[in-house]
Structures are given as structure tokens and as C-alpha cells.
Amino acid sequence: MEAAHNGPVADTAVPGTVTLDIAVESPEQMRDLGRLIAGVLAPGDLVMLTGELGAGKTTLTRGLGEGLGVRGAVTSPTFVIARVHPSLGDGPALVHVDAYRLGGGLDEMEDLDLDVSLPESVVVVEWGDGKVEELSDDRLQVLIHRAVGDTDDERRTVTLVGIGERWVDLRTDLALA
């Protein structure tokens, strides 16, 4: 797993964003990346995961759960929509949401009461684009790209986009984690 240094430190087109590209070569490295990101997460953080089916969103979330030290196996919540994994220690709970089956309606997202869970939990939403941005001005967007035409089906580029003041020091925080 390597951080690509060719991406911008700050995206000047969108004020208040920090972007970091990371090459991931295997599912194990995707879990490791999740554990690394977990080291910088705090209660109230919103993490949005975007990527095609099979890109590694749930694998990354498993690593987040391991890094946060939460109870229960982190599996895709596709059919239950949301799962809460309480902390085994004094850290935040992990609320894992799969918005894939939800329509674009804000009412469906509001029914999940994520705004109530957010202050004391880390909320991770798969397929949340256009559905959960209103929950927080500060969020970490994780974009998982499978290399097109690549013969290695496991290779991914993961782009972390920190939006808002909370994520200004994303590069430094990840280096320290």
C-alpha cells in the first residue's frame, strides 16, 4: 500500500478539501488501510464510501471496525440497511449503512436517524452520495477505483477526500497513525 504523491495536497477547485491517493494491491491491504484510517477517526465523523460493486467498500469497513475495536463481525448491511457495532472499549461505536437499496429520497435516510447516532459514533455509509452530505459539513469521502483494463483484479486506487476543517491535517494524521 503506497500513497501516491502525484495528487494535490489541497484541491483548490473545492475550498476546504484535502485529497490523497493510495494504491492498494490486495484485500488484506484494503483492510490494513481501514485500520489505518480508523486511527484518525473520532466520534462524530462521517465517512462516505463510493465504488462499484465488489470494489472493496465492505472490506475497508471491516478494517475500520477492527481498528476502532468494535463488537461483531462487520459484514455488508445490504439487506438490513444499517448495523450498529458497539465499541468493546471506550471508543466510538461504528454505524455501518448500505444505502444501495434506498431510493434517492431524504425521507428514507432520515428514518435511519443517523443524525442522532452521529455525535457519539463513527458513521460509515456505502453508496451515500447525494443522500447523506447534509449530516455534516465535515466528512471523509473514500472513492475506490478498480483499474480499468488491469489484469490484476485486486488492484485498486483509493482516493481519500477530506472535506471541511476536520480533515485539514489528513495527510499528517494518517502518517502519525
Dump pLDDT digits (tens) for 90-142. 999 999 988 776 665 555 555 555 655 668 899 999 988 887 888 888 999 99
For residue 66, the domain's CATH number is 3.40.50.300
Q: Taking a C-beta distance cutoff of 8 angstroms, is the pair 99, 72 a contact?
A: no
- Following DSSP, what letter does each residue of the chain receive, concatenated? -EEESSS-SB-TTSTTEEEEEEEE-SHHHHHHHHHHHHTT--TT-EEEEE--TTSSHHHHHHHHHHHHTBSS-----TTTSEEEE-BSSSS-EEEEEE-TTS-S-HHHHHHTTHHHHGGGEEEEEET-TTTSGGG-SSEEEEEEEEPTT-S-TT-EEEEEEEESGGGTTHHHHHHH-
Q: What is the pTM of this model?
A: 0.83
Q: How confident is the model at residue 1 (pLDDT cuts 50, 70, 90)?
A: low
For all residues of the chain together, what is the average pLDDT? 83
Show the domain range for 143. 2-11+18-176
pLDDT of 63 strictly over 70? yes
Q: What is the pLDDT of residues 147-156, one digit of tens each?
A: 766 556 888 9
Domain count, the chain: 1
More confident residue, 6 or 105: 105
pLDDT of residue 8: 36
Give the total residue count for the chain.
177
C-alpha cell at position 118: 452521529
Q: What is the pLDDT of residues 18-32, one digit of tens each?
A: 999 999 999 999 999
